[in-house]
Amino acid sequence: MEKMETRLDWCIVRLGEDKNWWVNEISDNVNWDVDGLGIIDPRQFFHMNELLDSMTEYGLASEIVDEAFFTFEIAEELEGGRIRLSRVRDSLLKAEDMLFALPDVMDEDKGPYADFLTHVSILRVKMLNDLIDFTEPFTLDEMEEVLAERHNNDYLEGRRTHFCVEVESILEFVPEGFALDHDIKDEDEEGNGEEDYSDLDTSTVEPSGKEEEKMLRTEDLKWEEEEREKEPTRYEDSAPDEVPSK
């Protein structure tokens, strides 16, 4: 569904030290506060889209995803490593071009982005209960409690939680002490089939006193043998005594 807002036409973004993109300026400065406003870059959304795709069989609603984000494309590069983005009205999930995605947080509690987070959280819990044999069904409240604690820890440590981190923490959430089979498989595939020898001790082994002494004697004998082979054969010492003349 096309978003009809006309005041949000462009924004200028910069790459932060955390390797995430943050908004510097925005065309609609009435409804938006750029202080701590992040934006999801194409690479990040590509990864998010792969995670979202795994939720299709659990009832992912593509319209909820599209409604949750404003889409932008690169218009020009500016000085100081900044980029000017222009608004486009493409479906984020169906777009062929690489797009930036700005979550619709004009109403943080009840807006489209909040609905999106609730939607994918419900689906993630449903997926976890389907793939993991819990003693008791895992609940949405349990997941939200863990995520809220992580968010609060970031806040107390002075870190801003980027939208990408917020979304992926839901899409990749696994309760502590558990693992999904496909997550384990992905970790194995990352090894590219190479054997792991990281547990082998490759440090140099120092020989003991007796072993070192034996090695030195062996080297001395080998050296003496090589020296004898290099010396010319001397026959004068072994020549027969001269016979006196008569």
From residue 155, how far is each of 34, 106, 158, 159, 161 by CA, in Å?
A: 18, 21, 5, 6, 8
The model's pLDDT over 87-115, given as tens digits with 9 standing for 90+, comes to 998 777 777 778 999 999 988 778 999 99
The model's pLDDT over 196-221, given as tens digits with 9 standing for 90+, comes to 544 444 444 455 555 555 555 555 55
Q: How far apart are CA 70 and CA 220, in angstroms?
A: 80
The whole-number mean pLDDT for each consecutive block of 10 residues of the chain, a chain of 246 residues, reads: 66 94 94 93 91 94 94 94 92 78 88 96 96 94 93 79 94 90 51 48 48 55 56 48 47
What is this structure's pTM? 0.70
